[in-house]
């Protein structure tokens, strides 16, 4: 397993608790959840709707703060960090892929992948080179100048994957990334995801309802009564 070669997980959720108020009633979503994500390992998060999959992903990606517990990124606790520092970690260490590709429609595939790098402060020449390399790796070398509306659903989602890994993150978090795709296209996108994990040793957590895809990943976990449980 990947753990043997790694001193600390890329992301580690420790005793995470999260509640929401439903009217005047507190609704417990996560209750002491613990999860370690290791470099080069793919983890499927499979659980019914409403059990907290998206909440867990948002907390792991520092988009949301837990009520209790700690999120460690590369062994560093994040709860005491400023919003600026949390944003910097999201920008450099964590990539996100959503069910909807969320590409900017007025920009080409190449420009969509360049943008995160330019925001990070890389020079334009560097961003063009890296964006072109990633898109070519994902089989989109002849589509880089096309805007999202000119791409198929599978191509759009592969551009979204390229954008997510543009800054070489250590963790990749995906929320139903193949949910809007037909089975054949979903399989192509999933294969692209797995190629990226092997090529970059990124730690990947995917929330999915697709048990066939989940069965092809390194680990499967679920949420039961607000806690993460290993399947298999």
* pLDDT, tens digit (0-9, with 9 covering 90-100), for 122-152: 899 999 999 999 999 888 999 999 999 999 9
Task: Assess if residue 108 is contained within a domain.
Answer: no
Task: Assess if residue 193 is contained within a domain.
Answer: yes
Q: Which of 51, 9, 104, 8 is nearest to 229 (CA)?
A: 51
Provide mean pLDDT across the span 91-111: 91
* Residues across the chain: 232
Q: Annotate 126-143 with b (16+ C-beta within 10 A) or e (fewer).
A: ebbebbbebbebbebeeb
State residue 96's pLDDT score: 92
Could you give the CA distance from residue 79 to residue 221 in angstroms, rounded to a whole number? 24
Coil/strand/helix, residue 134: helix
Q: Assign 193 a pLDDT band (cuts: 50, 70, 90).
A: confident
pTM, whole model, 2 decimals?
Answer: 0.88
Say yes or no to pLDDT of 37 above 80. Answer: yes
Q: Assign 5 a pLDDT band (cuts: 50, 70, 90).
A: very low
* pLDDT, tens digit (0-9, with 9 covering 90-100), for 61-73: 999 999 999 999 9
Say yes or no to pLDDT of 180 above 90. Answer: no
Q: Which domain covers residue 36, as residue numbers? A: 11-101+169-230
Say yes or no to pLDDT of 219 above 70. Answer: yes
Could you give the CA distance from residue 220 to residue 53 in angstroms, rounded to a whole number? 13
Provide mean pLDDT across the span 102-121: 93
Task: Assess if residue 117 is contained within a domain.
Answer: no
Pairing of the two strands 94-97 and 76-77? unpaired
102: left (phi over 0), alpha (psi -120 to 50) or beta: left
Handedness of CA 97, 98, 100, 106 (dihedral sign): negative
Could you give the CA distance from residue 167 to residue 72 in angstroms, rounded to a whole number? 20
Provide mean pLDDT across the span 23-51: 93
Q: Assign 1 a pLDDT band (cuts: 50, 70, 90).
A: very low
Report H helices in the chain: 53-60, 83-93, 109-120, 124-137, 153-164, 183-200, 211-214
- Residue 37: both structure tokens together: 């994500």
Q: Mean pLDDT, the chain, as a whole number?
A: 91
Task: Assess if residue 23 is contained within a domain.
Answer: yes
Task: Assess if residue 114 is contained within a domain.
Answer: no
Task: Assess if residue 210 is contained within a domain.
Answer: yes
What is the tally of structural domains in the chain?
1
Q: Assign 2 a pLDDT band (cuts: 50, 70, 90).
A: very low
Task: Assess if residue 79 is contained within a domain.
Answer: yes
What is the CATH number for 189? 3.40.50.300
Q: Assign 209 a pLDDT band (cuts: 50, 70, 90).
A: confident
Task: Assess if residue 36 is contained within a domain.
Answer: yes
């Amino acid at each position: 397993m990947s753990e043997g070669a790694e001193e600390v997980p890329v992301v580690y959720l420790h005793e995470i608790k999260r509640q929401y108020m439903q009217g005047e009633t507190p609704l417990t979503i996560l209750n002491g959840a613990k999860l370690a994500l290791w470099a080069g390992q793919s983890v499927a998060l499979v659980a019914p709707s409403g059990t907290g999959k998206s909440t867990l992903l948002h907390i792991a990606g520092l988009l949301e703060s837990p009520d209790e517990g700690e999120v460690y990124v590369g062994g560093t606790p994040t709860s005491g960090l400023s919003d600026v520092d949390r944003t910097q970690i999201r920008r450099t260490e964590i990539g996100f892929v959503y069910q909807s590709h969320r590409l900017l429609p007025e920009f080409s595939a190449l420009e969509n992948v360049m943008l995160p790098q330019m925001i990070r402060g890389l020079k334009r020449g560097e961003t063009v080179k890296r964006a072109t390399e990633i898109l070519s790796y994902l089989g989109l070398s002849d589509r880089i100048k096309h805007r999202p509306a000119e791409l198929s659903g599978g191509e759009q989602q592969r551009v979204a994957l390229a954008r997510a890994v543009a800054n070489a993150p250590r963790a990749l978090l995906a929320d139903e990334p193949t949910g809007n795709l037909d089975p054949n296209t979903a399989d192509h996108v999933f294969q692209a995801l797995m190629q990226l994990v092997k090529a970059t040793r990124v730690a990947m957590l995917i929330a999915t309802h697709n048990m066939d895809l989940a069965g092809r990943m390194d680990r499967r976990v679920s949420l039961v009564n607000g806690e993460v449980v290993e399947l298999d």
